[in-house]
């Protein structure tokens, strides 16, 4: 998918909502557990109920990996379902990978070619040659961790080095890498006070913002500094939508909570 196609979809749906598919068998409605593949079935029903309100879905790979082969099969079926049934949807493998060059190429092929995701999240700690193998894929996006929403996020990202913090160095340095146009950045919604500086460094790249909802981030704050003339913003909600109910009404409740966010987003746009 191209960046423009994603922007067009956002304008059409008046939504920049990404829904995180963090499937936990202990949390999904019990009546699904008797089915052959409850993980995929849960995802499919969530997607069916919310795809008109969301522009992106983000399976968190850890949740699938934790179920071994069964989990990988469910992930494969989920991405195939999205690609076939909803080709306009932007797909994110939230994998936070990153390794030395030849290994990163392996990861990139796994997510971009075999599974055919539009994007993958990548950790920056190992530097340029750990990220550039991902950036080499045309019309695929590498979403680099910059400033994360978790408590320990500032332990190292927040260290001051010269006139900048480490996460600012990450943003600035990444822009110099080959095929930097294929970058997006993860910036946690729990740190809106940093958004202004971030937008000054990366005014023309998409930000993927987790942390709205369960983690306490505020959508208005995020929009205020995150949106650009070309939008370039995706806001993720996982638990607040997919676990809105643990009963048979879970799709209805997921849809309602997604609609609530979509309406707020329409006002921001």
Binding site for a second copy (CB under 8 A): 22, 60, 62-63, 65-66, 68-69, 72-73, 76, 94, 96-101, 103-104, 106-107, 109-110, 114-115, 123-131, 145, 148-157, 159-162, 166, 169-170, 173
**Would you say 91 or 148 has its CB closer to a second copy?**
148
Map 195-238 to HEC letters: HHHHHHHCCCCCEEECCECCCCECHHHHHHHHCECCECEEEEEC
Measured from the CB atom, is 36 or 162 closer to a second copy?
Answer: 162
Question: H/E element holding 21?
Answer: strand 17-21
For the record, the structure tokens of 89 come out as 């949807």
**Residue closer to a second copy (CB basis): 8 or 127:** 127
DSSP H or E stretch at residue 20? strand 17-21
The count of C-alpha atoms lying within 13 angstroms of the C-alpha of 83, restricted to the half-sphere facing its C-beta, is 16
Q: Which of 96, 109, 164, 260 is catalytic?
A: 96
Is 96 designated active site? yes
The burial of 197, by beta-carbon neighbours within 10 Å (0-12 exposed, 13-18 middle, 19 or more buried), is given as middle
- Least distance from C-beta 248 to a second copy, angstroms? 25
Those residues with Cβ within 8 angstroms of residue 12's Cβ, 6 or more apart along the chain or in another chain: none
Helix and strand totals (H; E) in the chain: 12, 10
The least CB distance from residue 77 to a second copy, in Å, is 11
Phi-psi sector, 224: left (phi>0), alpha (psi -120 to 50), beta? alpha
Decide whether 64 or 255 has the Cβ nearer to a second copy: 64
Quote the least distance from Cβ 123 to a second copy, whole Å.
5
Nearer to a second copy, 57 or 227 (CB): 57
Please state the closest distance from residue 112 (CB atom) to a second copy, in A. Answer: 11
Catalytic residues: 96
């Amino acid at each position: 998918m191209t960046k423009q196609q994603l922007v067009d979809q956002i304008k059409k749906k008046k939504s920049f909502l990404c829904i995180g598919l963090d499937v936990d068998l202990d949390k999904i409605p019990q009546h699904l557990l008797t089915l052959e593949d409850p993980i995929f079935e849960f995802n499919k029903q969530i997607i069916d109920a919310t795809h008109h309100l969301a522009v992106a879905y983000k399976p968190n790979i850890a949740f699938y990996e934790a179920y071994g082969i069964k989990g990988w099969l469910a992930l494969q079926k989920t991405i195939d379902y999205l690609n076939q049934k909803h080709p306009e949807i932007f797909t994110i493998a939230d994998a936070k990978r990153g390794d030395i060059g030849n290994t990163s190429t392996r990861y990139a092929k796994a997510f971009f070619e075999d599974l055919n995701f539009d994007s993958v999240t990548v950790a920056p700690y190992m530097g340029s040659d750990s990220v550039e193998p991902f950036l080499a894929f045309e019309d695929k996006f590498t979403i680099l961790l910059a400033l994360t929403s978790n408590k320990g996020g500032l332990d190292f990202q927040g260290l001051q080095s010269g006139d900048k913090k480490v996460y600012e160095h990450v943003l600035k340095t990444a822009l110099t890498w080959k095929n930097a146009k294929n970058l997006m950045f993860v910036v946690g919604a729990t740190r809106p006070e940093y958004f202004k500086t971030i937008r000054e460094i990366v005014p023309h790249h998409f930000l993927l913002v987790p942390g709205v909802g369960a983690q306490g981030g505020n959508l208005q704050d995020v929009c205020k500094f995150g949106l650009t003339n070309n939008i370039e913003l995706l806001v993720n909600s996982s638990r607040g939508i997919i676990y809105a109910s643990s009963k048979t009404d879970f799709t209805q409740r997921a849809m309602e909570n997604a609609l609530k966010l979509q309406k707020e987003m329409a006002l921001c746009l």
